């Protein structure tokens, strides 16, 4: 489909431009990253590259193992050369919404340990301001026992709507790889000071992480359905 070819174009260009031998690579989560792992695996075979891949979720871990890539962790590799990951939306300041796949916490940790953080996505994620295209809200990972007071605090301070993310193939709320719940915060569509809001959200007791990645992306590759790729930096 056009979207899949757009994702693949962005993923392949990012891997071909940035991945070099003897690097520690953070592997993101979601569907776009699958194309990057496939391209990575191809290059490792063809060029006999020595890479260590750090996962950001159970899904990423499985991808690394299934593609016979070397699995690493932050305990042995706390400093990463390059993290590659998808996003749910990118604005013109390269602020990201992530967490559509529920993996935001380990993704942000791994991205924060990387010298360079490259984002790959299709043009459906490319916005002027956050909220233009991604309507499900900003994912916020919370400690399960606190989701109601946290929901009340965010609502009374900022408004919008906070929705506890429910499982589809599982009864009850989604439980993240870290054993937590996710509140999706549909915020009022105004261009807000995301750096300030992210910091305030993180201060609420029980909030583990937010899907606001502010000032973290080095570069964003936006794939288009004709196979061309736009760099947003
Ligand atoms: O959950 C996440 O943060 C994923 O990286 C998501 O933002 C991108 O997933 P996609 O590549 O399937 O759109």
pTM: 0.98
The reported pLDDT for the residue numbered 233 is: 84
Q: Is 19 helix (H, G, I), strand (E, B) or coil?
A: coil
Residue 198 tokens read as: 């992210």
231 assigned to active site: no
CA of 97 to the centre of ligand 1 (A): 9
CA of 32 to the centre of ligand 1 (A): 7
Q: What pLDDT digit, counting tens, does each position of 94-104 carry? A: 999 999 999 99
Beta carbons of 68 and 51 less than 8 angstroms apart? no
Q: Which residues, other chains included, contact 1 with Cβ-Cβ below 8 Å and sequence gap of 6+?
A: none
Q: How many residues does the chain have?
A: 233
Residue 69 tokens read as: 């890539």
Beta carbons of 95 and 214 less than 8 angstroms apart? yes
CA 174 – CA 169 distance, rounded (Å):
9
| Complete edge-to-edge strand list for the sheet that includes strand 96-97 | 89-90, 96-97, 212-213
CA of 216 to the centre of ligand 1 (A): 16
Helix (H) or strand (E) holding 208: strand 207-210
CA 233 – CA 222 distance, rounded (Å):
11
Q: What's the Cα-to-Cα distance from 163 to each of 20, 75, 121, 137, 173, rounded to whole Å?
A: 42, 34, 25, 9, 10
Q: Which residues, other chains included, contact 127 with Cβ-Cβ below 8 Å and sequence gap of 6+?
A: 89, 90, 91, 92, 133, 134
Q: Work out which ligand 1 atom sits closest to the CA atom of 33.
A: 11
Q: Which residues contact ligand 1 via a Cβ below 6 A?
A: 28-32, 85-88, 98-101, 103-104, 107
Q: Are strands 51-55 and 23-27 parallel, antiparallel or unpaired?
A: parallel
Ligand 1 site-directed mutation target among 3, 6, 11, 28, most atoms within 8 Å of CB = 28
The reported pLDDT for the residue numbered 188 is: 84
pLDDT of the chain along its 233 residues, tens only?
A: 999 999 999 999 999 999 999 999 999 999 999 999 999 999 999 999 999 999 999 999 999 999 999 999 999 999 999 999 999 999 999 999 999 999 999 999 999 999 999 999 999 999 999 999 999 999 999 999 999 999 999 999 999 999 999 999 999 999 999 999 999 999 987 778 999 999 999 999 999 999 999 999 999 999 999 999 999 98
The reported pLDDT for the residue numbered 33 is: 98
Given the cut 0.90, state whether the ipTM is greater than it.
Answer: yes
CA of 101 to the centre of ligand 1 (A): 5
Q: Work out which ligand 1 atom sits closest to the CA atom of 101.
A: 1
Beta carbons of 50 and 104 less than 8 angstroms apart? no
CA of 231 to the centre of ligand 1 (A): 18
Q: Work out which ligand 1 atom sits closest to the CA atom of 7.
A: 11
Q: What's the Cα-to-Cα distance from 215 to each of 25, 150, 218, rounded to whole Å?
A: 20, 25, 8
Helix (H) or strand (E) holding 223: strand 219-223
CA 230 – CA 205 distance, rounded (Å):
39
- Of all protein residues, the one whose alpha carbon is nearest to atom 4 of ligand 1 is 30
The reported pLDDT for the residue numbered 190 is: 77
Q: Which residues, other chains included, contact 149 with Cβ-Cβ below 8 Å and sequence gap of 6+?
A: 206
Q: Work out which ligand 1 atom sits closest to the CA atom of 96.
A: 7
């Amino acid at each position: 489909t056009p979207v899949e070819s757009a994702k693949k174009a962005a993923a392949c260009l990012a891997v071909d431009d940035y991945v070099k031998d003897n690097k520690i690579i953070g592997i993101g989560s979601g569907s776009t990253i699958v194309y990057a792992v496939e391209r990575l695996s191809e290059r490792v075979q063809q060029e006999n590259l020595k890479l260590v891949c750090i996962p950001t979720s159970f899904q990423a871990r499985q991808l690394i193992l299934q593609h016979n890539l070397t699995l690493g962790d932050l305990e042995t590799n706390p400093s990463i050369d390059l993290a590659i990951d998808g996003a749910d939306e990118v604005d013109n300041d390269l602020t990201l919404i992530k967490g559509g796949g529920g993996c935001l916490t380990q993704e942000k940790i791994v991205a924060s340990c990387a010298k360079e953080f490259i984002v790959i996505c299709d043009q459906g994620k490319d916005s002027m301001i956050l909220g233009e295209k991604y309507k499900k809200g900003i994912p916020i990972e919370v400690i399960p026992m606190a989701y109601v007071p946290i929901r009340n605090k965010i609502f009374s301070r900022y408004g919008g709507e906070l929705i506890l993310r429910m499982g589809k193939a599982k009864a009850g709320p989604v439980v993240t790889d870290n054993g937590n719940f996710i509140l999706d915060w549909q915020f009022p569509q105004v261009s807000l000071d995301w750096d300030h809001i992210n910091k305030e959200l993180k201060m609420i007791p029980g909030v583990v992480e937010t899907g606001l990645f502010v000032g973290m992306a080095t570069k964003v590759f936006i794939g288009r359905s004709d196979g061309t790729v736009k760099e947003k930096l």
